[in-house]
Protein backbone atom coordinates (compact mmCIF):
# COMPACT_ATOMS: atom_id res chain seq x y z
CA UNK A 1 0.00 0.00 0.00
CA UNK A 2 1.53 3.28 -1.09
CA UNK A 3 1.09 6.33 1.15
CA UNK A 4 -0.26 9.50 -0.41
CA UNK A 5 1.94 12.58 -0.63
CA UNK A 6 0.85 16.17 -1.08
CA UNK A 7 3.83 18.39 -1.87
CA UNK A 8 3.85 22.15 -2.30
CA UNK A 9 6.45 23.74 -4.57
CA UNK A 10 6.60 27.40 -3.63
CA UNK A 11 8.93 28.17 -6.57
CA UNK A 12 10.36 31.74 -6.33
CA UNK A 13 7.63 33.14 -4.10
CA UNK A 14 7.32 34.32 -0.52
CA UNK A 15 8.88 36.58 2.09
CA UNK A 16 9.72 36.08 5.76
CA UNK A 17 6.41 37.68 6.68
CA UNK A 18 4.12 35.95 4.19
CA UNK A 19 5.81 32.58 4.83
CA UNK A 20 5.22 32.90 8.56
CA UNK A 21 1.50 33.40 7.99
CA UNK A 22 1.32 30.50 5.51
CA UNK A 23 3.28 28.14 7.77
CA UNK A 24 1.18 29.06 10.81
CA UNK A 25 -2.00 28.37 8.87
CA UNK A 26 -0.68 25.06 7.52
CA UNK A 27 0.29 23.90 11.00
CA UNK A 28 -3.33 24.28 12.08
CA UNK A 29 -4.50 21.96 9.30
CA UNK A 30 -5.31 18.40 10.26
CA UNK A 31 -3.14 16.02 8.28
CA UNK A 32 -4.81 12.69 7.49
CA UNK A 33 -2.91 9.64 8.80
CA UNK A 34 -2.32 8.23 5.34
CA UNK A 35 -0.88 11.45 3.88
CA UNK A 36 2.64 12.90 3.98
CA UNK A 37 2.94 16.64 3.39
CA UNK A 38 6.13 18.28 2.14
CA UNK A 39 6.71 21.91 1.22
CA UNK A 40 9.55 23.25 -0.93
CA UNK A 41 10.28 26.92 -0.11
CA UNK A 42 13.05 28.97 -1.80
CA UNK A 43 16.51 28.38 -0.28
CA UNK A 44 16.73 31.52 1.92
CA UNK A 45 13.50 30.49 3.64
CA UNK A 46 14.19 26.79 4.00
CA UNK A 47 15.56 27.11 7.52
CA UNK A 48 12.63 29.36 8.46
CA UNK A 49 10.22 26.63 7.34
CA UNK A 50 12.30 23.89 8.94
CA UNK A 51 12.33 25.66 12.31
CA UNK A 52 8.69 26.70 12.17
CA UNK A 53 7.59 23.14 11.33
CA UNK A 54 9.62 21.39 14.03
CA UNK A 55 6.58 20.33 16.02
CA UNK A 56 4.51 19.62 12.91
CA UNK A 57 4.06 16.55 10.72
CA UNK A 58 4.74 18.73 7.67
CA UNK A 59 8.23 18.38 6.21
CA UNK A 60 10.31 20.91 4.28
CA UNK A 61 12.64 20.26 1.35
CA UNK A 62 14.76 22.14 -1.19
CA UNK A 63 13.88 22.96 -4.79
CA UNK A 64 17.24 22.03 -6.29
CA UNK A 65 20.77 20.89 -5.39
CA UNK A 66 24.23 20.90 -6.89
CA UNK A 67 25.82 17.80 -8.40
CA UNK A 68 28.93 18.75 -6.41
CA UNK A 69 29.55 18.16 -2.73
CA UNK A 70 31.13 21.54 -1.97
CA UNK A 71 33.85 23.96 -2.97
CA UNK A 72 34.24 26.72 -5.55
CA UNK A 73 30.77 26.63 -7.13
CA UNK A 74 29.35 30.14 -6.68
CA UNK A 75 25.59 30.21 -6.36
CA UNK A 76 25.21 26.46 -5.88
CA UNK A 77 23.85 24.58 -2.85
CA UNK A 78 25.16 21.15 -1.86
CA UNK A 79 22.98 18.27 -0.76
CA UNK A 80 24.86 17.99 2.53
CA UNK A 81 23.84 21.60 3.33
CA UNK A 82 20.20 20.72 2.83
CA UNK A 83 20.68 17.70 5.07
CA UNK A 84 22.63 19.78 7.60
CA UNK A 85 19.59 21.96 8.34
CA UNK A 86 17.48 18.86 8.87
CA UNK A 87 15.69 18.55 5.55
CA UNK A 88 15.24 15.17 3.90
CA UNK A 89 13.71 16.00 0.51
CA UNK A 90 14.82 17.76 -2.67
CA UNK A 91 13.19 18.36 -6.04
CA UNK A 92 15.29 17.34 -9.03
CA UNK A 93 14.66 17.98 -12.70
CA UNK A 94 11.68 20.29 -12.37
CA UNK A 95 10.60 21.31 -15.87
CA UNK A 96 11.49 24.93 -15.09
CA UNK A 97 15.05 23.78 -14.34
CA UNK A 98 15.13 21.68 -17.50
CA UNK A 99 13.71 24.31 -19.85
CA UNK A 100 14.96 27.60 -18.35
CA UNK A 101 18.31 26.50 -16.89
CA UNK A 102 19.44 23.86 -19.36
CA UNK A 103 19.28 20.85 -17.08
CA UNK A 104 19.56 17.81 -19.32
CA UNK A 105 18.39 14.36 -18.31
CA UNK A 106 22.06 13.46 -17.73
CA UNK A 107 22.45 16.35 -15.26
CA UNK A 108 19.17 15.43 -13.57
CA UNK A 109 20.45 11.86 -13.18
CA UNK A 110 23.64 13.20 -11.54
CA UNK A 111 21.56 15.38 -9.20
CA UNK A 112 19.43 12.36 -8.30
CA UNK A 113 22.58 10.44 -7.41
CA UNK A 114 23.96 13.43 -5.44
CA UNK A 115 20.74 13.58 -3.40
CA UNK A 116 20.87 9.88 -2.60
CA UNK A 117 24.53 10.15 -1.56
CA UNK A 118 23.43 12.69 1.06
CA UNK A 119 20.51 10.49 2.11
CA UNK A 120 18.01 12.97 0.75
CA UNK A 121 14.87 11.67 -0.95
CA UNK A 122 14.76 13.13 -4.46
CA UNK A 123 11.43 14.02 -6.03
CA UNK A 124 12.31 13.30 -9.65
CA UNK A 125 10.20 15.50 -11.94
CA UNK A 126 9.46 14.36 -15.47
CA UNK A 127 7.00 15.44 -18.12
CA UNK A 128 6.43 16.37 -21.74
CA UNK A 129 5.75 19.74 -23.38
CA UNK A 130 2.59 20.49 -25.33
CA UNK A 131 4.44 20.14 -28.66
CA UNK A 132 5.76 16.75 -27.58
CA UNK A 133 2.29 15.58 -26.52
CA UNK A 134 0.75 16.77 -29.78
CA UNK A 135 3.48 14.95 -31.71
CA UNK A 136 2.57 11.82 -29.69
CA UNK A 137 6.03 11.79 -28.15
CA UNK A 138 4.92 11.68 -24.48
CA UNK A 139 6.06 8.10 -23.88
CA UNK A 140 9.37 8.65 -25.69
CA UNK A 141 10.11 11.79 -23.67
CA UNK A 142 9.33 10.07 -20.35
CA UNK A 143 11.34 7.03 -21.38
CA UNK A 144 14.38 9.22 -22.12
CA UNK A 145 14.01 11.08 -18.81
CA UNK A 146 13.64 7.88 -16.77
CA UNK A 147 16.23 5.89 -18.71
CA UNK A 148 18.92 8.52 -17.98
CA UNK A 149 18.38 7.96 -14.25
CA UNK A 150 18.31 4.17 -14.59
CA UNK A 151 21.55 4.22 -16.61
CA UNK A 152 23.38 6.55 -14.23
CA UNK A 153 22.06 5.28 -10.90
CA UNK A 154 20.63 1.78 -11.48
CA UNK A 155 17.00 0.73 -11.13
CA UNK A 156 17.36 0.20 -7.35
CA UNK A 157 17.41 3.98 -6.89
CA UNK A 158 13.69 4.01 -7.69
CA UNK A 159 13.08 2.40 -4.29
CA UNK A 160 14.57 5.54 -2.70
CA UNK A 161 12.90 8.32 -4.66
CA UNK A 162 9.53 9.79 -5.49
CA UNK A 163 8.49 10.52 -9.08
CA UNK A 164 6.44 13.58 -10.02
CA UNK A 165 4.79 13.50 -13.43
CA UNK A 166 4.26 17.11 -14.42
CA UNK A 167 3.10 17.68 -17.98
CA UNK A 168 4.70 21.01 -18.89
CA UNK A 169 1.52 22.14 -20.67
CA UNK A 170 -0.41 21.85 -17.40
CA UNK A 171 2.03 23.82 -15.23
CA UNK A 172 0.75 27.25 -14.27
CA UNK A 173 -1.69 27.24 -17.18
CA UNK A 174 -4.87 26.30 -15.33
CA UNK A 175 -5.13 23.30 -17.69
CA UNK A 176 -5.06 20.22 -15.49
CA UNK A 177 -4.67 16.88 -17.19
CA UNK A 178 -7.93 14.99 -16.80
CA UNK A 179 -7.76 12.20 -14.20
CA UNK A 180 -7.93 9.67 -17.06
CA UNK A 181 -5.14 11.38 -19.04
CA UNK A 182 -2.92 11.54 -15.96
CA UNK A 183 -3.73 7.96 -14.94
CA UNK A 184 -2.76 6.68 -18.40
CA UNK A 185 0.67 8.30 -18.11
CA UNK A 186 1.17 7.20 -14.49
CA UNK A 187 0.37 3.63 -15.51
CA UNK A 188 2.88 3.92 -18.36
CA UNK A 189 5.57 5.15 -15.91
CA UNK A 190 4.90 2.27 -13.54
CA UNK A 191 4.92 -0.27 -16.38
CA UNK A 192 8.18 1.16 -17.70
CA UNK A 193 9.85 0.71 -14.31
CA UNK A 194 8.28 -2.74 -13.93
CA UNK A 195 10.19 -3.85 -17.03
CA UNK A 196 13.34 -3.52 -14.92
CA UNK A 197 11.91 -4.37 -11.50
CA UNK A 198 8.25 -5.18 -10.82
CA UNK A 199 8.58 -4.96 -7.03
CA UNK A 200 10.09 -1.48 -7.13
CA UNK A 201 7.49 -0.38 -9.69
CA UNK A 202 4.65 -1.45 -7.41
CA UNK A 203 6.06 0.56 -4.50
CA UNK A 204 7.32 3.78 -6.11
CA UNK A 205 5.10 6.78 -5.41
CA UNK A 206 4.16 8.76 -8.52
CA UNK A 207 2.72 12.23 -7.93
CA UNK A 208 0.82 14.31 -10.45
CA UNK A 209 1.62 18.01 -10.88
CA UNK A 210 0.18 20.71 -13.10
CA UNK A 211 -2.54 23.16 -12.03
CA UNK A 212 -3.78 20.92 -9.20
CA UNK A 213 -6.52 22.74 -7.30
CA UNK A 214 -8.79 21.72 -4.44
CA UNK A 215 -11.56 21.27 -7.00
CA UNK A 216 -9.55 18.83 -9.17
CA UNK A 217 -7.46 17.04 -6.55
CA UNK A 218 -9.88 14.38 -5.36
CA UNK A 219 -10.65 12.89 -8.77
CA UNK A 220 -6.93 12.83 -9.62
CA UNK A 221 -5.90 11.25 -6.31
CA UNK A 222 -8.55 8.53 -6.65
CA UNK A 223 -6.83 7.15 -9.74
CA UNK A 224 -5.06 3.86 -9.01
CA UNK A 225 -1.57 4.97 -10.06
CA UNK A 226 -1.70 8.54 -8.76
CA UNK A 227 -0.19 8.73 -5.28
CA UNK A 228 -0.74 12.40 -4.60
CA UNK A 229 0.26 15.74 -6.04
CA UNK A 230 3.05 18.25 -6.53
CA UNK A 231 1.25 21.56 -6.25
CA UNK A 232 2.55 24.96 -7.40
CA UNK A 233 0.32 28.04 -7.26
CA UNK A 234 -2.32 26.48 -5.02
CA UNK A 235 0.34 25.63 -2.42
CA UNK A 236 0.73 29.35 -1.67
CA UNK A 237 -2.84 29.59 -0.41
CA UNK A 238 -3.33 27.89 2.96
CA UNK A 239 -7.05 27.24 2.48
CA UNK A 240 -6.56 25.77 -0.98
CA UNK A 241 -3.52 23.68 -0.02
CA UNK A 242 -5.25 22.38 3.10
CA UNK A 243 -8.23 21.32 1.01
CA UNK A 244 -5.88 19.48 -1.39
CA UNK A 245 -4.32 17.68 1.59
CA UNK A 246 -7.81 16.61 2.75
CA UNK A 247 -8.61 15.38 -0.77
CA UNK A 248 -5.75 12.89 -0.49
CA UNK A 249 -7.15 11.12 2.59
Task: State the residue number with the nearest CB to ligand 13P.
Answer: 232
- Interface residues toward ligand 13P, by CB under 6 A: 9, 94, 166, 171-172, 209-212, 230-234
Listed residue (206, 11, 53) closest to 123, CA to CA: 206
Tell me which of 103, 166, 186, 240 is the catalytic residue. 166
If the CB atoms of residues 82 and 220 are measured against ligand 13P, the closer one turns out to be: 220
CB–CB of 186/226 below 8 Å?
Answer: yes
CA–CA dist 193, 101 (Å, integer): 27
With residue 234 as reference, give the H or E element that holds it: none
N-terminal to C-terminal alpha carbon distance within the chain:
13
Detail the DSSP E strand segments found in 80-120.
89-92
If the CB atoms of residues 64 and 183 are measured against ligand 13P, the closer one turns out to be: 64
If the CB atoms of residues 115 and 234 are measured against ligand 13P, the closer one turns out to be: 234
186 noted as active-site residue:
no
152 noted as active-site residue:
no
3-class DSSP state for residue 147?
helix
Provide the minimum distance between the beta carbon of 212 and ligand 13P in the complex, in angstroms, as a whole number.
5
Known catalytic residues are: 94, 166
Amino acid sequence: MRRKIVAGNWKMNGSLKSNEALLDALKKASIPNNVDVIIFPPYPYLIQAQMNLQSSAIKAGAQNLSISEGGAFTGEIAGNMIKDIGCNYVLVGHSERRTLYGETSAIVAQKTAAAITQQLTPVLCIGETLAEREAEQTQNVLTEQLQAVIEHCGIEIFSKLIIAYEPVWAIGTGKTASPEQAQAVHAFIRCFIAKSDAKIAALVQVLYGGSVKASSAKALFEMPDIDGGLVGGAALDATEFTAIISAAS
